[in-house]
């Protein structure tokens, strides 16, 4: 746990002072954040930093997890995919099981807070089971620009009860949603174990522990094993790069508790890359280890994010913060972070050859890689650190009170 003052050397005195001033009208306000998992994925990482900081500066903030059985998480993963443009066989049974998890939560959890923040779609129906005495805010972290129509109409039954919806990008706002909509971009914690400065000794120790040699340039994608992250496409890109430059690919992704699809995707990647895996040219890691991720990002020659859909892409933010050149898909929230050819390269997700060409360009031009890395770190410092996110929340809460 960190104090607000621990961030002074990174963000400067003015930011720290501004936060202390803005929180004065919010002292003692009681906030609850609800999502569906404590570990795995960007939402859990943001909560683990923003909630302690809120408490430190004088807000009473809590964090609760919506419990669910395997059927519930299978359904909500299908919802997640369909909300980002995928297909779904939508049945009354799916609706019933989806709502039942919120009803079960209601039975044993009181909500008497001043503000309620519901994160993503899993706990969305909770609002129907409580007597509403306070503002409820739905924080949607995914790309909602092209949702499955039938599912979207079903979920609107709940969303219309909310006082506000928060998206990560202006492009996700919905004209067919007559609820106040705001944009707050996510952020990373520079002092977390995943993003803090670590020594070369620790980097070497963790890479060795997980069997990652450094005799060749490392190309790395840090992402859940999710079809929207396109790990199979990453392997195809790597094959083209390896024809020109001898290098190694690392795919590192946690198995989030609310993502039952991850094991299946991981097995598909193993099958298509078996020969490369046998030669130790492709390494798959599913361990939940933040310092390993930190070490991998800092030691990689290039970081990839070949997403087909991406709500924001905090793994891109993390890589930029570590001064690494990034080649990423031109989708979702990624272009908010990367200016093409300035602090990384943006590529259309289907353009496998261009992905490979951009990686090769970076590997063959160390000066280019260094300049991109420096530019990327400064962009994150100015725009995507947890202190800026805290300021956004303070402004939001003050606006609601007014």
Query: What confidence score (pLDDT) does residue 257 get?
Result: 60
Reported residue count of the chain is 402
Comparing CA positions, the residue from 203, 232, 192 lying closest to residue 53 is 192
Neighbours of 296 (CB within 10 A): 27
Query: What confidence score (pLDDT) does residue 93 get?
Result: 95
CATH number of the domain that residue 367 is part of: 3.40.50.2000
Per residue in 184-224, pLDDT (tens digit) is 999 999 999 999 999 999 999 999 999 999 999 999 999 98
Domain count, the chain: 2
Comparing CA positions, the residue from 289, 316, 313 lying closest to residue 300 is 316
Per residue in 63-73, pLDDT (tens digit) is 999 998 999 99
Looking at the structure, do residues 78 and 103 belong to the same domain, yes or no? yes
Q: Is the pLDDT of residue 258 over 80?
A: no
Extract the tokens encoding 349: 């997700």
Query: What confidence score (pLDDT) does residue 39 get?
Result: 79
Query: What confidence score (pLDDT) does residue 255 get?
Result: 65
Distance CA(378)–CA(330), nearest Å, equals 20
Looking at the structure, do residues 208 and 235 belong to the same domain, yes or no? yes
| Mean pLDDT (the chain, rounded) | 95
Looking at the structure, do residues 181 and 64 belong to the same domain, yes or no? yes
Query: Residue 173 carries which DSSP code?
Result: -
**Helix (H) or strand (E) segment spanning residue 346:** strand 345-347
- Could you tell me the pTM of the whole model? 0.93
263 band by pLDDT with thresholds 50, 70 and 90? confident
Query: Residue 62 carries which DSSP code?
Result: E
> Angle between the 314-321 and 366-383 helix axes, to the nearest 10 degrees?
110
Which of 6-10, 121-125, 138-142, 272-276 shows the lowest mean pLDDT across its residues? 272-276
Q: Is the pLDDT of residue 40 over 80?
A: no
Looking at the structure, do residues 126 and 165 belong to the same domain, yes or no? yes
Looking at the structure, do residues 169 and 211 belong to the same domain, yes or no? no
């Amino acid at each position: 746990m960190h104090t607000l003052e621990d961030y002074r050397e990174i963000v400067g005195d003015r930011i720290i002072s501004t936060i202390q001033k803005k929180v004065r009208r919010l002292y003692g306000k009681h906030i609850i954040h609800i999502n569906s998992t404590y570990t795995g994925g960007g939402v859990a990482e943001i909560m683990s930093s923003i909630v302690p900081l809120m408490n430190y500066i004088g807000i009473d903030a809590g964090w609760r997890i919506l419990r669910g059985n395997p059927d519930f998480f299978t359904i909500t993963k299908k919802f997640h995919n369909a909300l980002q443009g995928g297909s779904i066989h939508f049945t009354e049974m799916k609706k019933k099981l989806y709502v039942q998890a919120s009803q079960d939560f209601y039975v044993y959890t009181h909500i008497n807070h001043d503000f309620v923040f519901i994160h993503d779609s899993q706990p969305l129906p909770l609002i129907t089971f409580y007597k509403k005495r306070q503002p409820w805010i739905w924080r949607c972290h995914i790309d909602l620009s092209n949702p499955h129509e039938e599912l979207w109409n079903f979920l609107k039954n709940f969303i219309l009860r909310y006082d506000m919806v928060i998206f990560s990008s202006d492009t996700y706002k919905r004209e067919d949603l007559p609820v106040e909509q705001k944009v707050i971009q996510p952020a990373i914690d520079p002092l977390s174990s995943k993003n803090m400065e670590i020594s070369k000794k620790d980097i070497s120790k963790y890479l060795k522990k997980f069997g990652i040699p450094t005799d060749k340039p490392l190309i790395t994608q840090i992402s859940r094993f999710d079809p929207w992250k396109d790990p199979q496409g990453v392997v195809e890109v790597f094959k083209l790069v390896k024809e020109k430059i001898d290098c190694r690919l690392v795919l590192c992704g946690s198995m989030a508790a609310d993502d039952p699809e991850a094991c299946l995707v991981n097995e598909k990647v193993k099958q298509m890359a078996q020969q490369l895996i046998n030669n130790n040219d492709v390494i798959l890691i599913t361990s939940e280890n933040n310092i390993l991720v930190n070490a991998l990002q800092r030691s990689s020659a290039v970081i990839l994010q070949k997403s087909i859909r991406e709500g924001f892409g905090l793994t891109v933010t993390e890589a930029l913060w570590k001064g690494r050149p990034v080649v990423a898909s031109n989708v979702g929230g990624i272009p908010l972070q990367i200016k093409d050819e300035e602090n990384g390269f943006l590529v259309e997700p289907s353009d496998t050859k261009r992905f490979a060409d951009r990686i090769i360009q970076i590997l063959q031009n160390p000066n280019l890689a260094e300049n991109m890395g420096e530019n990327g770190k400064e962009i994150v410092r100015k725009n995507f650190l947890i202190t800026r996110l805290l300021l956004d929340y303070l402004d939001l809460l003050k606006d609601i009170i007014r």
